[in-house]
Amino acid sequence: MKKQNRLSKLVSTDGLQHAGYLAVAKTRAKVLKAFSYVIPIRRPMLFVGETSCDELCDMLINEGSTNVFIVTDAVLNKLGIPAKVTDYLDKKDISYHVYDGVTPDPTFKVVEEGLRQSLDAKCDSIVAIGGGSVIDAAKMIAMSQGNKCKPQQLIGILKARKPATPLYCIPTTAGTGSEATLGAVVSDDDTHQKALSIDPRMVPLAAAIDPIIMKGMPAHITADTGIDVLTHALEAWMSVNASVETDYYAASAIKSVMHYLPIVYEDGGDLKAREAMGIAAHYGGIAFNKAGLGYVHAIAHQLGAYYRIPHGRANAIVLPYVLDVNRHASKKRLAALAKKIGMVQEGQAAGSDSEIADHLIAQVRDLIKTLHTDPAVQDMQTSDFDKIAKAAAKEVSETYAVPTYLSGSEIKEILTKIKQASDTSADKS
């Protein structure tokens, strides 16, 4: 606690390169690395394909579940997406209760209401059917129910004392990879600031990647969530805590996104591409479970909190600028990545690391343009920049092992470039 208070004092928007700040941040990164490699992190049983939901249901039944709490959102429930699970449970004479109150960026009240309903219904397992918001809410409900505590008590690292209520996940978007990760994000009801809970007990027991469920996802959501996958994998690859294991999953995810995301964006009914993107999202989650994330997410989280921008789109807006900033420190790693996944031709592979890294960054920018991602942040205010920079720096210093630490002015330079692009976009429209 004393170390955290010391770090908070050292983090200022104009003095983030303070020697003390850097020393504490780097020490914390080493601790996080030791944590991620010493404490075992299980991987969920993964079912893939058009029958994967049935297989997941069979697993929870075989594990003894008799009364399932299904967590989803109102839109998905209205579209009948949970029916693929509830119809199967009906056939197997398994009771269930559907909670569709999850909202984007779920708040503590959303989680508390879900917890209340699950306890009232005496449910013994939880199935999340939805995107990252739904899965995060379900994780917090499962952890709170298993530990008989309020969700606020789980914020931080290793706050749980008991296992979660058995949790199973069916992602409807190929994005967060939350069905594979040990963390969940909840927003404050009043300030909308995001709070993070991290615990290996939060990893679901199983997940189903069902391309049929994913095929109805609109093109703009496909794009936003797909860039979220790419960001997870790229930040995990550039992390100081990357390893042979995380590199395998990160590189595989990046290769799939670069190839399949444009395909599924144009044709949402392409089940092969949907399935590949679902696996890529899962692999991205496995990669950043141990390697962590970085400044793209730290800044994007603030843009979401301040300006209500969907998380994937915020990542798409921030990603190119952070790649540019990281280019010098990560050029060898980025060049190795480009060669590993075939992003450079035989002749280009003979170029310098800087040239190959630039080529990779250019291809990422081209992908984002192909997806017609809106670069604008509506009503972005320079008066918010100090607070955004400070919050982003704090998130990085407390949670991630980044290749280079940014000063407050460097973070604000990124924000200024985003605002300039937003203003230009507004003028054109």
- pTM attached to this predicted model: 0.89
Distance (Å, rounded) from C-alpha 75 to C-alpha 362? Answer: 36
Q: CA-CA distance, 97 to 33, in Å (whole number)?
A: 40
pLDDT attached to residue 397: 87
Please list the residues that pair with 129 across neighbouring strands.
Answer: 170
Q: Where in the chain is the domain with CATH 3.40.50.1970?
A: 45-214
Dist. CA 106–CA 373, nearest whole Å: 24
Q: What pLDDT does residue 9 have? A: 41
CB 142 within 8 A of CB 203: no
Report pLDDT for 144: 98
Mean pLDDT of the chain: 90
Q: Which residue has the higher pLDDT, 338 or 191?
A: 338
What is the pLDDT averaged over residues 118-146? 97
28 — pLDDT class (breaks 50, 70, 90): low
Task: Tell me what pLDDT residue 99 has.
Answer: 98
pLDDT band at 40 (very low <50, low <70, confident <90, very high): confident
CA angle, corner 106, sides to 105 and 112, nearest 5? Answer: 170
pLDDT value, residue 8: 40
Residue 222 has a pLDDT of 96
* Phi and psi torsions of 204, nearest 5°: -60, 160
H helices of 11-107, in order, are: 19-38, 52-62, 74-79, 83-91
What are the pLDDT digits (tens) for 203-242?
A: 999 999 999 999 989 999 999 999 999 999 999 999 999 9
The predicted-structure confidence for 257-282, as pLDDT tens digits, reads as follows 999 999 999 999 999 999 999 999 99
Tens digit of each residue's pLDDT (9 = 90 or more) over 286-295: 999 989 999 9
| pLDDT per residue as tens digits for the range 231-240 | 999 999 999 9
Q: Mean pLDDT throughout 9-24? A: 48
Query: Under CATH, what is the fold of the domain 2-38+217-428?
Result: Dehydroquinate synthase-like, alpha domain (1.20.1090)
pLDDT of residue 98: 98
Contact between 175 and 226 under an 8 Å Cβ cutoff? The reply is yes
What is the CATH number that goes with domain 45-214?
3.40.50.1970
Query: Cα–Cα distance between 207 and 282 in angstroms, integer?
Result: 9
Band (413; pLDDT cuts 50, 70, 90): very high
> Distance (Å, rounded) from C-alpha 56 to C-alpha 231?
28
In 10 A of CB 30, how many CB atoms? 12
**CATH 1.20.1090.10 placement within the chain:** 2-38+217-428
What confidence category does residue 348 fall into, taking pLDDT thresholds of 50, 70 and 90?
A: low
Please give the structure tokens belonging to residue 372: 């017609």
Query: With 90 as the cut, is the pLDDT of residue 299 above it?
Result: yes
Say whether pLDDT at 109 is over 70: yes
